[in-house]
Amino acid sequence: MKIAYDIIRRPVLTEKGYQGIGEKKYVFEVAVDANKVEIKNALEQIFKGIKIESVNTLRVLGKIKRQGRTQGRRPEVKKAYVTLTEDSKPIEFFEGMI
């Protein structure tokens, strides 16, 4: 069984992420092998009192980077776009960022 803090890595704080806070839409970086149900359960466990309507996920492949002849790849990232229900309370972590 996975721990909630292993599934949810960190919030993604970008301009696009800030635009959704007023509409109760949040963006998180999650573990690459996590599915939507695990993400939903982990967020409800971490942030008490929220009700999640939907979870949309997105996988971003790492960019290829070079230094001289050596070539490598940045790590792959998975993002979760989470929408809360209308009657849910907002996530307290994002309160002062609007």
pLDDT in tens, 12-56: 999 988 898 889 999 999 999 999 999 999 999 999 889 999 999
- Please check whether residue 51 is in contact with residue 84, taking contact to mean a CB–CB distance below 8 angstroms: yes
- Please check whether residue 4 is in contact with residue 45, taking contact to mean a CB–CB distance below 8 angstroms: yes
- pLDDT tens figures, 50-87: 999 999 999 999 999 999 999 999 999 999 999 999 99
Checking if the pLDDT of 2 tops 90, the result is no
Nearest Cα to Cα of residue 30 among 45, 9, 15, 56: 9
Domains and CATH numbers, the chain: 4-87 (3.30.70.330)
